[in-house]
Amino acid sequence: MWRRSRGKVLTWGRGNSGQLGHGDMDCLLSPKIVMSLESYCITQVSAGWSHSGFVSDEGCVFTCGDGSFGQLGHGDYRSHCSPVKVSFFVNKHVEQIACGMRHSLVLLKDGSGNLLYGFGSGKRGQLGISIDRIKSVNAPEIIRGFDDVQIITITANADHNAALSADGELYTWGRGFGATSDFLSPQQSPSSLKFSKVALGWNHALVLSDNGEVFMLGGCHHGMLSNPEITTLSKHLSDGAVLERVPGLDGIKVVDIAAGAEHSAIVTEEGVIKIWGWGEHGQLGLGSSRDESSPKTVSLGVEVERKNGTVRVYCGSGYTYAISTFCS
């Protein structure tokens, strides 16, 4: 999904659950404006496995796509192929929505502080709403554990979530990373570092510290999915519970991070993209389908690299987008 600067939304890709929001269940090879949201100024979007979320500048949130796990938050298990307003939040101001595989998170801006809600599948604790595993809920329920904490950003992928506070603290919950067990409620990272960005894959999390360093939680599959012997060995080496600095980035200041299902990407202060992890589908952009266990530089071509501008990176499940914005 792509949000244009004037608040319009374009969607494309797999659409057989109605997640593209065009009123049908067709897949699209190129971006198309979501017409039913044209009268709104959309400020934030999120693409889950087979459902999507859209937030407007006035604090409304819309969802569409597969609803069979309650992940659309409308109080039932119906699917929709056009965005439908989540009525639960009608008198509240929504800031962000994060869509995972079969669940969603919503962050509210509230007079007394920010509030977090979850709905959809909760079998891995990804809803963070109970001490027990919950099969699913189809209407938003508040996520406890953030008393006196101001959450400013949320992200979800697969069956887990991450949140960052205004003080730079990292919280994660849901399916564990690596060999750790699932967390049924938000856990604060014990690290004393301040973090500014977090990205989630299916088995790992990437976090960017205030001083431009990148750390990883989990990620035992990185660079090793194609080599089963090494994967088995790596599981014994690390239980994935500890934040580990990503090797090969010493002395490099990182300004952007992104995570696909099983690969990771960063952008340095110099505008250089480095990437590593699963490569079978060419998602590393290195010209081969080999996995890489440590960051490698991606070449965007001489024409792009010569121009002044900014580079950003985004990862889908098995693909990567690099966006270059040139200064005129």
Partner 1 sequence: MSYDDVEIEDMQWNEELQAYTYPCPCGDLFQITKEELKIGEEIACCPSCSLYITVIYNAEDFADKKSNNNLEPPKRQPWTLLETFRMANGKLVL
- Smallest distance from partner 1 to CB 98, Å: 17
In the complex with partner 1, the residue whose CB is nearer, 119 or 146, is 119
Least spacing, CB of residue 90 vs partner 1, in Å:
31
Q: Is 278 in the site for partner 1 (CB under 8 A)?
A: yes
* 87 versus 227: smaller Cβ distance to partner 1: 227
204, two tokens:
């790992």
Q: Please give the Cα distance from 12 to 35 (Å, whole number).
A: 13
User: What is d(CA 42, CA 66) in angstroms, rounded to the nearest whole number?
Assistant: 21
Answer whether 63's CB lies under 8 Å from 51's CB.
yes
Contact pick of 280, 296, 312, 324 for partner 1 (by CB under 8 A) = 280
CA atoms in the 13 A half-sphere facing the CB of 31: 8
List, as one string, the DSSP characters of 269-325. Answer: TTS-EEEEE--TTSTT-SSS---EEEEEEEP--HHHHHS-EEEEEEE-SS-EEEEEE
Q: How many whole angstroms separate alpha carbon 76 and alpha carbon 162?
A: 26
Contact mark string toward partner 1, 120..149, x via CB under 8 A: ---x--------------------------
Instruction: Pick out residues in 178-237 that bind partner 1 (CB under 8 A).
Output: 202, 225-226, 228, 231-232
As a whole number of angstroms, the distance between CA 307 and CA 211 comes to 26
CB-count exposure of residue 97 (10 Å: 0-12, 13-18, 19+): buried
Output 80 or 124, the one with its CB closest to partner 1: 124
* Contact flag: residue 281 with partner 1 (CB under 8 A): yes
Binds partner 1 by CB under 8 A, chosen from 3, 8, 14, 32: 14
Q: Does residue 49 touch partner 1 according to CB under 8 A?
A: yes
Terminal C-alpha separation, the chain: 26
Q: Which stretch binds partner 1 (CB under 8 A): 103-111, 246-254, 274-282, 293-301?
A: 274-282
Q: Closest CB to partner 1 among 288 and 299?
A: 288
Contact mark string toward partner 1, 63..82, x via CB under 8 A: -----x--------------
- Decide if 150 contacts 192 (C-beta within 8 A): no
Under the binding rule (CB under 8 A), the answer on residue 85 touching partner 1 is: no
Least separation in angstroms between residue 318's CB and partner 1 is 4
Minimum Å gap between C-beta 79 and partner 1 is 12
- Of residues 4 and 78, the one with the C-beta less far from partner 1: 78
Q: What torsion do the CA atoms of 169, 173, 176, 181 make, to the nearest 10 degrees?
A: 110
Does residue 276 interact with partner 1 by CB under 8 A?
no
- Residue from 101, 107, 129, 217 that binds partner 1 (CB under 8 A)? 101
Residue from 261, 284, 311, 315 touching partner 1 (CB under 8 A): that is 261
Please spell the DSSP secondary structure of 130-184, one letter per residue.
Answer: -SS-EEEEEEEEEPPS-TT--EEEEEEETTEEEEEETT--EEEEESPSTTPPPEE
Positions in the binding site for partner 1 (CB under 8 A): 14, 49, 68, 101, 123, 202, 225-226, 228, 231-232, 260-262, 278, 280-281, 316-319
